[in-house]
Amino acid sequence: MKNLRLTLAIIAGKILIYISRLLGHQGTSFPGRIARKIYPRILRTLSPNIRREIVVITGTNGKTTTSNMLAEILKQQGYSLVHNRLGANMLSGITTAFIEKSDIHGSRKFDYALLETDEATVPLLLRETRPRLVLITNFFQDQLDRYGEMDHTIKLIQEAVKEQEIEMLLNADDPLTANFQAETGLKCWYYGFDDSSYDDSRSMDSREARYCAFCGHQLEYEKYHYAQLGQYSCPRCHSRNPERDFTGQELEMSPDIELKVDGIALKSPYQGFHNAYNILAAVSLARLLGVEDENIKKAIASFQPQAGRMEAFFINGKRVVLALVKNPAALNQTLASLIYDPGRKNLFFALNDNAADGRDISWIWDADVELLEYENVMVEQIVCSGQRSGDIALRFKYAGFPQERIRIEEELPRAIELAVQGSAESSYILCSYTALFGCQRILREMQKRSGTGEEAEKAYQAQS
């Protein structure tokens, strides 16, 4: 009876994945939700099919990009894997990923499982799977109406991993991860950056980690990489950045990323310091898993931004970049990346407040939107759309951007067309989560009308 219910759950899930994608949807969560109703133990049953390791990747920002980069690295090494690559990171989405890869009997084996998961889902996931490695990218303020204060989220994860046979890979530059080893008793590996030319002695970002995780005293920073990530110490208990096991060095962004990780020279088409951290995290985890350096270099060089993570489109000879922004740190880093793009550009922002976006959009006032005032950003026009288009337009106005160059357009296709038109050499399409796939679909259609992606990219390169 058990095997029959498992088979029925897998077949039902596979059919729903097929139908969902046939209808133009992602097919990531609903199939897993229905399969779990048919056979609630499906994830517990399928997860032991992983021969080598189950790896969990969580954190506020960068987990989808980091997990996708690591997947590319493991594929380059020749490994097979289960991976919820589209970022459906609740139990239902993870279950769908296993169903999609499984045979109907639930017996197919794989080398690795890369499971990106929402921070609040970590305790639930650990009840149904047995990972050996857990990577935490960072902790930032994010959707307080859904998750509450960060202290609660951090404690939730710490309690979940205690007394488990787990090793953790953590960001040494984030003070919010500094006490994980002391609190959990687990083996913790750390990655972080050396000094770079992009560091600052002051941070204009909204900074969450003002206080020492050990004694509660206010921290002192020698320098910031971005937001609260940087070189810090506590004047009372003398705690400081944990000693790094993996180090990012010689960072260059022009706007693509070049860096070294413990001597391995890497190039990536991604942009921004936040994505440099994602590369460093993925490479650090790959080295922990024993991947060869040459395969790491090839995978990072060839992996293109996707799913709204600085994903590039080429439309009528222009480069158009799609970026998901969901909290102050993400918006700050996306706007900062505009500085390293030397041309004139248009900006678009679709802001929604559905449940998946977070109902509370007050975070836009915590972001350093005043970056747009800098002359080297060179933004010519801003087009605002989405359910809260008026709110984001007002935010840009109060940031000092000229009101006559801010436009509100409710209709999404028309709004994106306006952002791509004009004399600007590139356009940046920013959006909250529930607008992401709609924006992506519109941009793909526009790129298709202007020629294949490869042809359009060549046209852009010829003009650059």
Count CA atoms within 13 Å of residue 51 on its CB side.
8
Any idea what DSSP says for residue 303? P
pLDDT of residue 463: 45
Q: In the numeric block, which tokens belong to residue 77?
A: 């090494």
**Is residue 79 classed as helix, strand or coil in its secondary structure?**
coil
Active-site residue flag, 360: yes
- Strand, coil or helix: what is 384? strand
d(CA 270, CA 310): 7
How confident is the model at residue 355, as a pLDDT? Answer: 84
Which of 142, 151, 360, 368 is flagged as catalytic? 360
pTM: 0.84
Cross-sheet strand order for the sheet of 426-431: 309-315, 318-324, 426-431, 345-350, 379-385, 406-408
3-state secondary structure 213-265: CCCCCECEEEEEEECCEEEEECCCCCCECCCCCEEEEEEEECCEEEEEECCEE
Residue in 323, 265, 298 with CA at minimum distance from that of residue 61? 323
Structure tokens at 247: 């180090």
Buried residues in 165-192 as b, exposed as e (16+ CB within 10 A): ebbbbbbbbbbbbbbbbebbebebbbbb
Please list the pLDDT of the chain residue by residue as tens digits (464 residues).
568 999 999 999 999 999 988 887 776 889 999 999 999 999 999 999 999 999 999 999 999 999 999 999 999 999 999 999 887 889 999 999 999 999 999 999 999 999 999 999 999 999 999 999 999 999 987 654 444 477 888 999 999 999 899 999 999 999 999 899 999 999 999 999 999 999 988 765 545 678 899 999 999 999 999 888 999 999 999 999 999 999 999 999 988 999 999 999 999 999 889 999 999 999 999 999 999 999 999 999 999 887 777 888 999 889 999 999 988 888 988 888 888 788 899 999 999 999 888 889 999 998 889 888 776 788 999 999 999 999 999 999 999 999 999 999 999 999 999 999 988 999 999 999 899 989 999 999 999 988 755 555 554 444 44
pLDDT for 336 equals 84
Per DSSP, the three-state class of 20 is: helix
Q: Which 3 state secondary structure label does DSSP give 342? A: coil
In DSSP terms, 253 is beta-bridged to: 257
Identify the three-state secondary structure at position 275.
helix
CA Rg value for the chain: 22
- Residues ≥6 apart with Cβ < 8 Å to 261: 246, 247, 248, 249, 279, 280, 283, 284, 287
Which pLDDT does position 258 carry in this prediction? 96
Whole-number Å distance between alpha carbons of 272 and 330: 10
Q: How far apart are CA 372 and CA 155, in angstroms?
A: 36
Q: What is the rounded CA–CA span in Å between residue 449 and residue 240?
A: 54
Closest CA to 58 of 68, 67, 48: 67
Dig out the tokens for 138 from the structure. 């960072």
So what's the pLDDT on residue 309? 78
Type of residue numbered 284: S
Distances 151 to 87, 139, 155, 162, 445 between C-alpha atoms, Å? 24, 10, 6, 17, 43
